[in-house]
Amino acid sequence: MTTPHPIASIVGVLIVALSLSAFLIWVERRLLALWQDRYGPNRVGPFGLLQVLADMIKIFTKEDWIPPFADKPAFVIAPAIIMVTVLMSFAVLPIAPGIMVSDLNIGLLFFLGMSSLGVYSIVLAGWASGNKYSLLGGLRAAAQMISYEVFMGLSLMGVVLLAGTFNLTSIVEAQRGLWYVIPQFLGFVLFLIAGVAEARRLPFDLPEAEAELVAGFHSEYSGMKFGMFFVGEYLGITLISSMIAVLFLGGWTGPWLPPIVWFLIKVFAFLCLFILLRASLPRLRFDQLMSLGWKVMFPLALANLLVTGAIVLAKK
Amino acid sequence: MLSLIRTIWNVFLHSFHRRVTIQYPDEKPYLTPRTRGRIILSRDPDGGERCVACHLCSAVCPVDCIALQATEDESGRRYPEFFRINFSRCIFCGLCEDACPTYAIQLTPDFEMSEYNRQNLVYEKEDLLISGPGKYPGYNFWRVSGVQIGGKDKGEAENEAPPTDVYRLTP
């Protein structure tokens, strides 16, 4: 099997990831509309597909305003961090055999590390804005990330124990017989919930809770900087969905269809689930979020790890 | 937890519901005949103007968008010399229709009156008059009122008894 040139894969993954996340904006609006018995954007182009393009033109031509009370360097760099960290995680994502940027043997750890770094973007943005609501959003993001990062990592350790490796390609290969969603169902549910929190999506979008905090950490952002937060959020959803597909649903494996199609089908199913969650669930209160994380999810993840470890040991 | 899953499922079931949006410029919504839209002046079944220029509509209009001038023709019928509605002021409250004693002024279900030029929203009598009786077919004010006009003396209107002769004693 021929592997494409590294540069070609990097460019390919970048283009696909960025255009997919832009396309997601349209998908989300249409699906939300479907579940609310509306139509959503359907005027610009066929099925409103060009709405994304119109929005992009709008956002590029908007005034890029930096408030005078903001901490300018941090304010400018914050939106870049989220894009960089999320796109870096795509580097270790095994899309199909041969189609990946870097087959890192600690790919899973790299993903966890990069998604933790992403929170710096939010905290910096909230702090540099010099706005109390943004700061509150940033603080919430920090607390939320730390709480949910812990059991996000722990919930994946069951998969690592079963596969015996941190390499994502090997994890996919290890699922040839049985997808890990069955033996690791609890881990799957925990990772899904942690992933929603990690992507800061409803019902865990406390950092930007528009009902309480205007728009949270990105209240002061406009133009393309806001666009980068926006695209970063959608990239984050795509990343979490891809990781769920890779870690629990056997990545590209599946009968009849080519591997890449299977991968995209699985990712798209989880993207739709993310949007469905947004359409149906109300936002949690902040103390509920914290107690859910530390009192329910964290012990469950520990128990899952303990039981999986015991079973793996007993089988040896 | 179970209720959360049920909520998600119920929302998902909305994929198969009918969408409530009416895609307006492509498909027009049904508007009831009593919808308060563009104002018209109707005519009686004989083709004459119903408006008797009593000024009640312009008096009741909360935004003062109706202006008219009363005059009389040779048969003694009152009618408006000009009748002007400024639709850029009109709030479509329908009070003029309520006030009208002759069913002349009526609101119709048409609301598509956008203009680029504000002046074009000032409608004159020629723009307001329609050829028919509108919502009240068969009603002719001059034929039921006791007012004396040319060709119809007192007591000759529909359901009207001849006037009592006050100089005679017999009942």
Query: Residue written as tokens 């609301």?
Result: B111
- Enumerate the domain spans of chain A: 6-315
| Residue B71 pLDDT | 92
> Closest chain B residue to A277 measured between Cα atoms?
B8
| Residue A2 pLDDT | 56
Taking contacts as CB-CB distances below 8 angstroms, the residues of chain A near B4 are 281
Mean pLDDT of A262-283: 88
Nearest CA-CA distance, residue B134 and chain A, Å = 36
| Interface with A, mutate which of B19, B20, B26 (most A CBs under 10 A) | B19
pLDDT tens per residue, range A33-83: 988 888 888 888 788 888 888 888 888 888 888 888 888 888 888 888 888
Return the percentage of chain A with pLDDT > 90, whole number: 0
Taking contacts as CB-CB distances below 8 angstroms, the residues of chain A near B1 are none
| Residue A1 pLDDT | 46
pTM across the whole model? 0.76
Establish, for the pair of chains A and B, how many residue pairs have beta carbons separated by less than 8 Å.
Answer: 34
- Enumerate the domain spans of chain B: 28-133
CATH number of B28-133: 3.30.70.3270
Cα(B123)–Cα(B40) distance, integer angstroms: 10
- What burial letters (b/e) apply to B87-109, b meaning 16+ CB within 10 Å? beebeeebbbbebbebbbbbbbe
> Closest chain B residue to A34 measured between Cα atoms?
B15
pLDDT tens per residue, range A117-141: 888 888 888 888 888 888 888 888 8
Taking contacts as CB-CB distances below 8 angstroms, the residues of chain A near B15 are 34-35
Q: Walk along chain B (171 residues) in steps of 10 and give the mean pLDDT of each run.
A: 87 87 87 91 89 92 92 89 92 92 91 90 91 88 84 82 83 69
Which H helix or E strand runs over A313? helix A298-315
CA dihedral (A309, A311, B1, B4) positive or negative: positive
pLDDT tens per residue, range A287-316: 888 888 888 888 988 898 888 888 888 887
- CB spacing of B17 vs A37 below 8 angstroms: yes
Q: Is the pLDDT of residue A160 over 80?
A: yes
| Interface with A, mutate which of B15, B22, B26 (most A CBs under 10 A) | B15
Residues of chain B whose beta carbon is less than 8 angstroms from a beta carbon of chain A are 4, 7-8, 10-12, 14-15, 17-21, 23
Q: Answer yes or no: are the C-beta atoms of B84 and B68 closer than 8 Å.
A: yes
Which H helix or E strand runs over A52? helix A51-61
Taking contacts as CB-CB distances below 8 angstroms, the residues of chain B near A39 are 19, 21, 23
Cα(A99)–Cα(A96) distance, integer angstroms: 5
